[in-house]
Structure 1
Amino acid sequence: MNKNIFQLPRNLVFFIMFVMLTGQAVARQENPFTGDNPWPDIRKERITKVLPEAMKTAGVDAWIVVCRENNNDPIAHHIGGENAGGTAVFLFYIKDEKFGSIVFSPAGEATALADLHIHDQVLPIPRGHSAISAAAEYAKSRPFTKIAVNSSSENEMADGLSYTQRKNMEEAFGSEAAKFVSSNELLYEWLSIKLPSEVDIMKKAAQLTSDWQYEAYSQVRPGKSTDADIAKFLKNKIAEYGFKDGWAADQNPNVNSGPDRGHSHATDKIIMPGDVIQIDFGIRVYDMWVTDIQRFAYVLRPGEVVAPDSVQQYWENSKQGSRIALSAMRPGVTGYDVDKAQRDFMKKKGSEYVMWSTGHPVGYVAHDVGPSLGGAQLIDSKPRAESFKKLKPGMVFAFDGFFAWKLPDGREKTMSVEEMAVVTADGASYLIDPQEELILIKDAIKQ
Structure 2
Amino acid sequence: MPDADLIAEKTEQAADALAEQDVDCWLTFCRETTEIHEPCLPFLLGFDVVWPTAIVVSKEDRSAVVVGRHDAPNARELPHEVYPYDESLEEALLGLLDEIDPDEIAVNFSRDDNTADGLTHGMYLRLRDLLSGTDYDESLTSAEDVISAVRGIKSPTERARVRQAVETTEELLGEMRDRWDPDWTEADVSDWLHDRMDDRGLGSAWSWDYCPTVHAGGDREVGHTLPGELTLPPGEVLHIDFGVKQDGYSADMQRLFYRPSDENPEPPEGLREAFADVRSAIEAGRERIAPGVAGHEVDSAARDELTDRGWPEYEHAFGHQVGRNAHDGGTLLGPQWDRYGSAPEGEIRAGEIYTVELGADTEWGYLGLEEMLLVTDEGTEWLTDPQESLSVLARPE
**Could you say what secondary structure the match of 2:160 adopts?**
helix
Residue 356, structure 1, aligned to residue 316, structure 2: yes
Residue 230 of structure 1 is aligned with which of 185, 189, 194? Answer: 189
**Could you say what secondary structure the match of 2:354 adopts?**
strand
Question: Match of 2:243?
Answer: 282
Residue 64, structure 1, aligned to residue 27, structure 2: yes
Question: Match of 2:285?
Answer: 325
**Could you say what secondary structure the match of 1:200 adopts?**
helix
Q: CA 1:228–1:189 in structure 2 vs 1: closer, same or farther (change >3 Å)?
A: same
CA distance in 2, matches of 1:135, 1:85: 17
Residue 102, structure 1, aligned to residue 54, structure 2: no
Question: Match of 1:91?
Answer: 56
> Given residue 162 of structure 1, which amino acid in structure 2 is its aligned partner?
T
**Could you say what secondary structure the match of 1:278 adopts?**
strand
Q: CA 1:118–1:142 in structure 2 vs 1: closer, same or farther (change >3 Å)?
A: closer
> Given residue 392 of structure 1, which amino acid in structure 2 is its aligned partner?
R
CA distance in 2, matches of 1:272, 1:86: 56
**Could you say what secondary structure the match of 2:311 adopts?**
coil
**Could you say what secondary structure the match of 1:402 adopts?**
strand
Say if 2:237 and 2:257, in contact at 8 Å, map to a contact too: yes
Say if 1:92 and 1:100, in contact at 8 Å, map to a contact too: yes
Residue 172, structure 1, aligned to residue 133, structure 2: no
Say if 2:11 and 2:44, in contact at 8 Å, map to a contact too: yes
Q: CA 1:157–1:383 in structure 2 vs 1: closer, same or farther (change >3 Å)?
A: closer
> Given residue 103 of structure 1, which amino acid in structure 2 is its aligned partner?
V
CA distance in 1, matches of 2:190, 2:157: 30
Alignment map for 1:15-414 (pairs within 5 Å) = 39-48=3-12, 50-69=13-32, 70=34, 71-80=36-45, 82-94=47-59, 98-114=60-76, 116-119=77-80, 121-125=81-85, 127-128=86-87, 130-140=88-98, 142-175=100-133, 176-222=136-182, 224-258=183-217, 259-286=220-247, 288-375=248-335, 384-405=341-362, 407=363, 413-414=365-366
> Given residue 149 of structure 1, which amino acid in structure 2 is its aligned partner?
V
Q: Where does structure 1 differ by over 4 angstroms across 4 or more consecutive aligned residues?
A: none
Q: How many correspondences in the alignment?
A: 391
The gaps in structure 1 that reach 5 residues or longer are 1-36
**1:359: how far off?**
0.7
**Could you say what secondary structure the match of 1:284 adopts?**
strand
CA distance in 2, matches of 1:356, 1:183: 27
Say if 1:188 and 1:370, in contact at 8 Å, map to a contact too: yes
CA distance in 2, matches of 1:137, 1:229: 59
Say if 2:290 and 2:348, in contact at 8 Å, map to a contact too: yes
Say if 2:303 and 2:314, in contact at 8 Å, map to a contact too: no
> Given residue 255 of structure 1, which amino acid in structure 2 is its aligned partner?
V
Say if 1:137 and 1:173, in contact at 8 Å, map to a contact too: no
Q: CA 1:133–1:396 in structure 2 vs 1: closer, same or farther (change >3 Å)?
A: same
**Could you say what secondary structure the match of 1:277 adopts?**
strand
Question: TM-score normalised to the size of structure 1?
Answer: 0.82
Say if 1:67 and 1:88, in contact at 8 Å, map to a contact too: yes
CA distance in 2, matches of 1:195, 1:81: 16
1:372-408 Cα distance to aligned partner (Å, 9 max, x none): 11106x5xx5863111211111000111143334x49
**1:158: how far off?**
2.1
**1:238: how far off?**
0.9
CA distance in 2, matches of 1:435, 1:352: 22
**Could you say what secondary structure the match of 2:56 adopts?**
strand
**More displaced 10-residue stretch of structure 1: 239-248 or 254-263:** 254-263
Say if 2:237 and 2:366, in contact at 8 Å, map to a contact too: no
Q: CA 1:363–1:81 in structure 2 vs 1: closer, same or farther (change >3 Å)?
A: closer
CA distance in 2, matches of 1:51, 1:137: 21
1:289-334 Cα distance to aligned partner (Å, 9 max, x none): 0000111011112132211111111111112222222211111111
Q: CA 1:38–1:437 in structure 2 vs 1: closer, same or farther (change >3 Å)?
A: farther
> Given residue 84 of structure 1, which amino acid in structure 2 is its aligned partner?
V
The gaps in structure 2 that reach 5 residues or longer are none
Q: CA 1:79–1:315 in structure 2 vs 1: closer, same or farther (change >3 Å)?
A: same
> Given residue 59 of structure 1, which amino acid in structure 2 is its aligned partner?
D
**1:100: how far off?**
0.2
Question: Match of 1:8?
Answer: none
**1:142: how far off?**
4.1
**Could you say what secondary structure the match of 2:199 adopts?**
helix
1:220-264 Cα distance to aligned partner (Å, 9 max, x none): 333x11111111111111111111011001100001013342112
Q: CA 1:308–1:202 in structure 2 vs 1: closer, same or farther (change >3 Å)?
A: same
Aligned-CA RMSD value: 2.1
Question: TM-score normalised to the size of structure 2?
Answer: 0.92
**Could you say what secondary structure the match of 1:366 adopts?**
coil
CA distance in 1, matches of 2:46, 2:196: 31
**Could you say what secondary structure the match of 1:415 adopts?**
strand
Question: Match of 1:440?
Answer: 392
Larger Rg: 1
Q: CA 1:209–1:44 in structure 2 vs 1: closer, same or farther (change >3 Å)?
A: same
CA distance in 2, matches of 1:384, 1:169: 27
**1:214: how far off?**
2.4
